[in-house]
Amino acid sequence: MQITDSSVSSEPISTTKEVLLEVIDLHKSYLSGGRPLEILKGVSLSIHRGESIALTGSSGSGKSTLLSLLAGLDRLTKGQIRLRGQATQDWDEDQLARWRREEVGFVFQDFRLIKSFTAFENVSLPLEILGWDGQKARERAEQLLEQLKIRERAEHFPHQLSGGEQQRVAIARAYAHRPLLIFADEPTGNLDPETSQQVLDSFLQLNDEEGTTLIMVTHDMSIAQRMQRHLPLRAGRIDETSSSPSLRV
């Protein structure tokens, strides 16, 4: 569903909260046939700890590009990304990799579970790879599968799970190491409307319970409206003055 923005302006909520990420005049270009193709043309925004944010915009507007830059998966062309006050563009690959590994969780449209692992292993084994004690990793996986009501599916492999169940396992995996930030790129894009809302319930439940910050790309207005803030990306910029009011505070 294509987004149509309301013309009601919204102030960023939680202005007293800690600013986690600050984006200042961010530009990103790709080379196309030897010429620079400008995708992001001066994006500025502040993200506060604990917020849930919907990022919308037409196909090709640069939503995934912006997520990649915020997650440290790609390098910006111009501007600044400040993480808790620290400019990240000078970080080397090791620092960026540590940030992604320890502070960030990802959820994708196509789930990206490891096919040869059970649901339980998809959540617990990445924790062990991060250095968690085996027992603690198993307890955390159990707790998350329980919270997301898929505990009885723990021993099932991804091909034995529905799309909605697979996505809930992917959400459990993303939150498992208690990251600061979750980036979700169209996580309900492959799901029917009812399952999409259930998957969003899982995100919002964990976000509230764990105080994580959630940035979700979506084309679905009924999803965007349930987030605290809505950032529309248009013509390479974010126009927060045309975004929907916060419906969930």
Ligand X SMILES: Nc1ncnc2c1ncn2[C@@H]1O[C@H](COP(=O)(O)OP(=O)(O)OP(=O)(O)O)[C@@H](O)[C@H]1O
Chain residues binding ligand X by CB under 6 A are 30, 39, 57, 59-65
Classify 223 as helix, strand or coil: helix
Q: Are strands 237-238 and 229-234 parallel, antiparallel or unpaired?
A: antiparallel
Would you say 217 and 56 are in contact if contact means Cβ atoms under 8 Å apart?
yes
Distance in angstroms (rounded) separating the CA atoms of residues 136 and 124:
9
Of 155, 139, 137, 136, which is closest to residue 147 (Cα–Cα)? 139
Residue 85 contact partner, candidates ligand X, Mg ion, none, CB within 5 to 8 A by sort of partner: none
- Measured from the CB atom, the residue of 165 and 220 that comes closer to ligand X is 220
Distance in angstroms (rounded) separating the CA atoms of residues 6 and 242:
6
Binding part of the chain for Mg ion, among 26-34, 56-64, 84-92, 201-209 by CB under 5 A, reads: 56-64
Binding part of the chain for Mg ion, among 4-12, 60-68, 71-79, 148-156 by CB under 5 A, reads: 60-68
- Measured from the CB atom, the residue of 65 and 202 that comes closer to ligand X is 65
- Least separation in angstroms between CB 62 and ligand X: 4
Residue 153 contact partner, candidates ligand X, Mg ion, none, CB within 5 to 8 A by sort of partner: none
- Least separation in angstroms between CB 67 and Mg ion: 8
Residue 48 contact partner, candidates Mg ion, ligand X, none, CB within 5 to 8 A by sort of partner: none
- Choose, by CB under 5 A, the member of 64, 68, 77, 205 that binds Mg ion: 64
- Measured from the CB atom, the residue of 4 and 135 that comes closer to ligand X is 4
By CB neighbour count within 10 A (0-12 exposed, 13-18 middle, 19+ buried), where does 56 fall? buried
Angle of helix 134-147 versus helix 119-129 axis, rounded to 10: 140
Contact status: 29 vs Mg ion (CB under 5 A): no
- Measured from the CB atom, the residue of 31 and 249 that comes closer to ligand X is 31
Q: Report the 10 Å Cβ neighbour count for 111.
A: 20
- Least separation in angstroms between CB 189 and ligand X: 9
- Measured from the CB atom, the residue of 11 and 93 that comes closer to ligand X is 93
- Measured from the CB atom, the residue of 57 and 126 that comes closer to ligand X is 57
- Residue count (the chain): 249
Would you say 86 and 72 are in contact if contact means Cβ atoms under 8 Å apart?
no
Binding site residues, Mg ion, CB under 5 A: 64
